[in-house]
Chain A
């Protein structure tokens, strides 16, 4: 397991980032992003380059979005002495981007779990109010198990609506999958049927991006880093040649291939977790006062090992480097 996963970073950027200011993309600007989550160019997703080739450069409308994950609002503990301020720093960081993302996506665990339904709603409301300060108003949400597993997503839906849905943006078909509202970490047959029906409407070379919270593959089941029926979703996606999955849950970067499908996890905004299986227990990594926010939201460029070498994710710096 995991021999094609990697937590390694790779700064090789020979992957076709468009530096043409006229195209609205400035590589240096993105590399200077101080902050959280990941910044992803559509041109770095599977299939984009092929589409650009076929459409001509002028026909390929480049864009990027920001992925944030695992803010765990409501968490308290020594592993993040700034638990009440980190999410706000993330918002400030996104707002300070020189280039404006087309949209923002939160890949779950917006709040930290609580056994008290009333407190759960308070945390969801507080989270909603904090992220309302985002200048970019197109924000896509999905729950994590901390938000949704104890009430099958009831409270979450009161605040953020559906837990699985699709949207299309500039030639990319985005699919949000819910693998957390079932406390047993199942997507479930009903949602899988919905996914199959949606995919049937897509051509085999459609550019497809999946957002979900848990890994769809067995990253490290010993730590609950899996989706019980995730393999069924991957099987449905497999006939499509250009699929990329972005997820959260594991509080660190991880890059994994299931066949031709790339899976990229995002860092957390509350505390980092250890590499899969690197220690006996899945306990958070300690806060390092000398390096505050270390491990939170830092991502780097990861070119994908594809023949065209046109896939990459472009990642940001530490939370503490953010100007707010």
Chain B
């Protein structure tokens, strides 16, 4: 998660600069550039768990999930946001979306993976 930490630092600097620009009469430009930067979160799957199983997100902040499986093919499906992607061993699949509502939403494995498949799910907690 060090990437995220660095991103936050960069974001903080950028906001300061943009705030300065806005103070100088470039407010429109500031708004255009100050779009929140993607968060990147690595999610792994293995029979029959996701890690992390609870993923905190911010409404309106784009997130890119980097999905991979540690054993067999799985699926990541978050129907409340209309997104899904395969989670394959030895490969990272990027899934980008912007949470547009707050609350707790289920994501689940949508590729039948064995005896524990039906309990393989997690939560997106959007604040």
Contact = CB atoms under 8 A, between A and B. Distances in A.
A221 B77 contact: yes
A26 interface: no
A242 to B, nearest CB: 31
Main secondary structure of the interface of A (DSSP, over half): loop
Nearest to A277: B106
A224 B115 contact: no
Nearest to A226: B79
Interface in A221-256: 221-224, 228
B21 to A, nearest CB: 43
B108 interface: yes
A222 B79 contact: yes
Contacts of B113: 183
* Chain B at the A interface: SS class: mixed
A228 B110 contact: yes
Contacts, number: 40
Interface string A269-296: 0000000000011100000000000000
A183 B111 contact: yes
A5 interface: no
Nearest to A273: B118
Given A222-B79, A282-B118, A184 B111 contact: yes
Interface residues of B, number: 18
B114 A145 contact: no
Given A184-B75, A282-B118, A222 B108 contact: yes
Contacts of A184: 75, 110-112
A114 B73 CA distance: 17
B106 to A, nearest CB: 4
A164 to B, nearest CB: 18
B53 to A, nearest CB: 12
Interface string A78-117: 0000000000000000000000000000000000011100
A150 B112 CA distance: 7
Interface string B86-122: 0000000000000000000110101111110111010
Contact of B106 (A150, A183, A222, A228): A222
Interface in A139-194: 145, 149-150, 180, 183-185
B80 interface: yes
A185 B110 contact: yes
Contacts of B108: 222-224
A273 to B, nearest CB: 10
Interface in B43-102: 73, 75, 77, 79-80
Contact of B114 (A150, A223, A228, A282): A150
Interface of B: 73, 75, 77, 79-80, 105-106, 108, 110-115, 117-119, 121
Given A183-B113, A184-B110, A228-B110, 12 more contacts: A113-B112, A115-B115, A183-B111, A184-B111, A185-B110, A185-B111, A218-B79, A222-B80, A222-B105, A222-B106, A224-B110, A224-B118
Interface of A: 113-115, 145, 149-150, 180, 183-185, 218, 221-224, 228, 280-282
Closest 8 CB pairs of A and B: A149-B112, A221-B79, A183-B112, A222-B106, A145-B112, A115-B114, A183-B111, A184-B111
17 contacts: A113-B112, A114-B115, A150-B112, A150-B114, A183-B73, A183-B112, A184-B75, A184-B111, A184-B112, A185-B110, A218-B79, A222-B80, A222-B106, A224-B118, A281-B119, A281-B121, A282-B118
